[in-house]
């Protein structure tokens, strides 16, 4: 790791020591300011921001311990290294108890000083990086939208977060169920602990239990050593089980045991492990129907479904598409290091009216693709249209996007045409159409009835 350059305040009444320290610290690229007394040092701290104070214990007027106490009253985070040629063990202990980072004895070993400051600057650099990562994660995992539906979801997440209640997040693929789980974790008492995600649909069924619960050496061919599973990694934190409807009955039984008594065994092991986790789950499958057919355990369903949260599809969140478009335009400008782009009025109207069957995932991928492929800072309707569902160009009618009309009317016309086209492609079969769109059949039937399409 490259040395992190910092600003250092030296408070020492011996001018020669201040000059010697300044020379070696500036040679290492650090910025240095000086004070000959505790009072002068405290005045400097009111005027300037520094990263470290080198503070002599024996000073005229206020001694070093008093100065340290005064610093701690106004700044609990500022790092202070005490230096002294006459200190007792008790003085050193007092300084460290009050909050000094280190204690160096005179005559100063310049190598020891440089090592202490290098260690401290690396610590500060790591803290800064960690803070930046956390800030970036807050943006990355923020659920964007101003619709009443999203505000209700966020309100529920904030309310349930500080509790220990299990939460089952329902919704179509790509709606942002993981973002809801992050919001709950951020509002919980475990927010500083790990957030571990496990997607049951993304892993071959024969490996699910090994990945989730871990395995012992020799448990199966290829198990050359002991491995911790996601559950152990989430100890003291939050485990998010995504697509739990794809989990086998055997794995479901083991998850139920974890929920009931916090116990499990690794695959191939006999020793019972204990774990403390907050469990959140999500699915886009009709678990009630799966319970009826025996594909999902009824006892696990009721254990998970203590607080249900339904995340509506993007087409039902009026106003959120525009907010999401602006959010991802800003996001990809920064991530791809490109000039910010925007949409023309007609392109924006087309996108706002488009139903986004792939939900937020489709919208995000579209923005990234357009950022890379479009040479213009303003993306027009002709650049957007080829990347949307072919129903738009197949219908051959773009008047809906260029004519001025109430938004609700345009949206209704588009939904009618889009769903009629999808039903034709699936020979009028509602079940297959719903599956291809990532919708629950009951939701599609309700939407068809609402649009007055009747039985196809």
| Closest listed residue to residue 140, CA positions, set 182, 173, 168, 197 | 182
Q: Is the dihedral of CA 219, 204, 314, 423 positive or negative?
A: negative
Task: Say which residues have a Cβ less than 8 Å from residue 294's Cβ, sequence separation at least 6.
Answer: none
Task: Please name every residue paired with 278 in a beta bridge, in sequence order, or none if there are none.
Answer: 238
How many other CB atoms are found less than 10 A from the CB of residue 267?
19
Please tell me the distance from the alpha carbon of residue 309 to that of residue 167, in angstroms, as a whole number: 7
Q: Name the phi and psi angles at 352, rounded to 5.
A: -65, -35
> Which long-range contacts link 330-334 to residues 24+ away (Cβ below 8 Å)?
331/139, 331/367, 332/367, 332/368, 332/371, 333/371
- In percent, the amount of the chain with pLDDT more than 70 equals 91
| pLDDT tens digits along 314-330 | 988 878 999 999 999 99
Q: What is the mean pLDDT of the chain?
A: 86
> Which pLDDT does position 84 carry in this prediction?
83
User: Strand 273-274 relative to strand 263-264: parallel, antiparallel, unpaired?
Assistant: antiparallel
Which of 143-152, 259-268, 345-354, 415-424 is predicted least confidently? 415-424
- pLDDT grade, residue 44 (50/70/90)? very high
Give the distance from CA 451 to its chain's centroid: 38
**Choice between 418 and 230, residue whose per-residue pLDDT is larger:** 230
Measured distance between the N- and C-terminal CA atoms of the chain, rounded to whole angstroms: 65
pLDDT, average across residues 246-252: 92
- DSSP assignment of 345-400 equals HHHHHHHHHS--TTHHHHHHHHHHHHHHH--SSEE-HHHHGGGS-THHHHHT--HH
Please tell me the distance from the alpha carbon of residue 253 to that of residue 363, in angstroms, as a whole number: 37
What domains appear along the chain, each with residue ranges and CATH number? 7-137 (3.40.50.2300), 141-312 (3.40.50.300), 315-451 (1.10.8.60)
> Which pLDDT does position 276 carry in this prediction?
93
- HSE-CB of 150 using CA atoms within 13 angstroms: 23
- pLDDT grade, residue 370 (50/70/90)? very high
Which of 8-17, 100-109, 132-141, 425-434 is predicted least confidently? 132-141
Alpha helices for 262-376 (secondary structure H): 287-293, 298-304, 320-335, 345-353, 359-373
> Which pLDDT does position 220 carry in this prediction?
77
The three-class DSSP label of residue 332 is helix
Please tell me the distance from the alpha carbon of residue 275 to that of residue 48, in angstroms, as a whole number: 48
Task: Say which residues have a Cβ less than 8 Å from residue 233's Cβ, sequence separation at least 6.
Answer: 194, 196
| Closest listed residue to residue 82, CA positions, set 47, 122, 41 | 41
Instruction: State the DSSP code for 207.
Output: G
**Choice between 125 and 274, residue whose per-residue pLDDT is larger:** 274
Answer yes or no: is pLDDT of 293 > 90. Answer: yes
**Choice between 367 and 118, residue whose per-residue pLDDT is larger:** 367
Specify whether the CB–CB gap between 8 and 53 falls below 8 A.
yes
């Amino acid at each position: 790791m490259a040395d992190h350059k910092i600003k250092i305040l030296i408070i020492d009444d011996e001018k020669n020591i201040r000059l010697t320290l300044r020379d070696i610290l500036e040679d290492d690229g650090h910025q240095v300011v000086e004070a000959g007394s505790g009072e002068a040092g405290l005045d400097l701290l009111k005027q300037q921001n520094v990263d470290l104070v080198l503070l002599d214990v024996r000073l005229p007027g206020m001694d070093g311990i008093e100065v340290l106490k005064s610093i701690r009253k106004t700044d609990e985070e500022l790092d202070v290294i005490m230096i002294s040629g006459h200190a007792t063990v008790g003085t050193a202990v007092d300084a460290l108890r009050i909050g000094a980072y280190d204690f160096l004895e005179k005559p100063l070993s310049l190598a020891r000083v440089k090592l202490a400051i290098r260690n401290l600057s690396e610590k500060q650099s790591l803290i800064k990086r960690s803070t930046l990562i956390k800030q970036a994660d807050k943006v990355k995992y923020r659920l964007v939208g101003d619709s009443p539906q999203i505000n209700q979801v966020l309100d529920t997440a904030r309310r349930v977060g500080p509790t220990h209640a299990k939460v089952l997040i329902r919704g179509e693929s790509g709606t942002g169920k993981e973002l809801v789980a992050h919001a709950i974790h951020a509002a919980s008492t475990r927010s500083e602990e790990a957030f571990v995600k496990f997607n049951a649909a993304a892993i071959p069924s024969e490996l699910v239990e090994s990945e989730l619960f871990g395995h012992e050496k020799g448990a199966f061919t290829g198990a050359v050593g002991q491995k911790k599973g996601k559950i152990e990694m989430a100890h003291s934190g939050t485990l998010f089980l995504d697509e739990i409807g794809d989990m086998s009955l055997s794995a479901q039984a083991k998850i139920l045991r974890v929920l009931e008594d916090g116990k499990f065994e690794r695959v191939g092991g006999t020793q019972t492990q204990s774990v403390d986790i907050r469990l959140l789950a999500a699915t886009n499958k009709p678990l009630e129907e799966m319970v009826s057919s025996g594909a999902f355990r009824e006892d696990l369903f009721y254990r998970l479904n203590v607080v249900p949260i339904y995340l509506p599809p993007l087409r039902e969140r009026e106003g959120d598409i525009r907010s999401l478009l602006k959010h991802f335009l800003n996001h990809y400008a920064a991530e791809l290091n490109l000039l910010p782009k925007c949409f023309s009025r007609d392109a924006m109207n087309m996108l706002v009216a488009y139903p986004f069957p792939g939900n937020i995932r489709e919208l995000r991928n579209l923005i990234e693709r357009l950022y890379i492929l479009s040479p213009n800072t303003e993306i027009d309707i002709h650049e957007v249209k080829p990347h949307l569902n072919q129903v738009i160009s197949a219908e051959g009618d773009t008047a809906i996007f260029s004519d001025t009309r109430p938004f609700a009317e345009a949206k209704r016309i588009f939904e009618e045409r889009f769903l009629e086209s999808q039903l034709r492609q699936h020979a009028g079969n509602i079940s297959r159409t719903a599956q291809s769109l990532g919708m629950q059949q009951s939701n599609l039937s309700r939407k068809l009835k609402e649009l007055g399409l009747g039985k196809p």
